[in-house]
């Protein structure tokens, strides 16, 4: 091996070490919310940015809110409003839906321990 090879190896190792430090520190909360509507549209919302999204459904508009890294269905034209009462979603994999208005709100799972939850 020549000197240049060693240099490459050293630089590469340093670079890898830095990448571990950068990408592996810190918690992994969910970073993205996915909204699906009955007509097949998918909206991606970044949880780092506060936002309000209105999505249409057969009954009217459902209002989705993102705030402080969490998301929720703030209002929906359904009768029971279970989706609204559920409140804020804050961990990866969590899902809530307004079935009558055909809207699904899901937080992208960081680590998913289960393939399905039975209840």
Partner 1 sequence: MTSGPARAVTLLTLLASLALAGCSRPEPYSETMIAFGTLVDVTLYAESPAQADEALRMIESDLQYMHETWHPWKPGSLGRMNLLLPTGGWFSAGPSLLPIIEQSTTLSEQSEGLFNPAIGQLVALWGFHGEDLPAGPPPPPDEIASLVGQAPQMADLEIDGIRIRSTNAAVKLDFGAFAKGYGVDRVIERLVEMGITDAIVNAGGDLRAIGRHGDRDWRVGIRDPRGQGVLASLEVSGDESVFTSGNYERYFEWDGKRYHHIIDPRTGYPADDVLSVTVLHESGAVADAAATALFVAGREDWPRIAAGMGVEAVMVIDADGGIALTPAMAERIRFESESTPEPQIRPLP
Partner 2 sequence: MPPTSLKLTAEVQDLRIAWLAALAVAIHVLESVFPSPLPGVKPGLANVVVVMALLMYGWRAALAVAVLRVIAGSLFIGTFLSPTFFLSLSGATLALCTMGLAWLIGRHQLTAIGLSVAAAIGHITGQFIVAWLLFIPHEAIWRLYPILVSTSLIFGLVSGTMAHALFRKIKIPAA
36 binds partner 1, rule: CB under 8 A: yes
- Cα-based torsion angle of the residue sequence 59, 80, 114, 21 in order, rounded to the nearest 10 degrees: 80
Site for partner 2 in 39-68 (CB under 8 A): 44
DSSP 40-93: S-EEEEETTS-EEEEEEETTEEEEEEEETTEEEEEE-S-SS-HHHHH--B-STT
Binding-site partner at residue 114 among partner 1, partner 2, none, CB < 5 to 8 Å by type: partner 1
Binding-site partner at residue 118 among partner 2, partner 1, none, CB < 5 to 8 Å by type: partner 1
100 binds partner 1, rule: CB under 8 A: yes
Residues that bind partner 1 (CB under 8 A): 36, 38, 79-80, 95, 97, 99-100, 102, 104, 106, 113-119
């Amino acid at each position: 091996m020549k000197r240049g090879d060693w240099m490459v190896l050293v630089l590469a190792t340093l670079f890898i070490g830095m990448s571990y430090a950068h990408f592996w520190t810190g918690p992994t909360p969910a970073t993205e919310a996915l909204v699906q509507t009955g007509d097949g549209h998918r909206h991606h919302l970044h949880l780092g940015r506060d936002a309000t999204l209105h999505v249409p459904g057969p009954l009217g508009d459902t209002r989705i809110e993102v705030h402080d890294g969490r998301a929720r269905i703030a209002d929906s034209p359904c009768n029971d409003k279970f989706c609204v009462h559920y409140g804020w979603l804050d961990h990866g994999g969590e899902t809530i839906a307004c079935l009558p208005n055909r809207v699904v709100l899901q937080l992208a799972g960081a680590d998913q321990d289960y393939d399905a939850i039975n209840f």
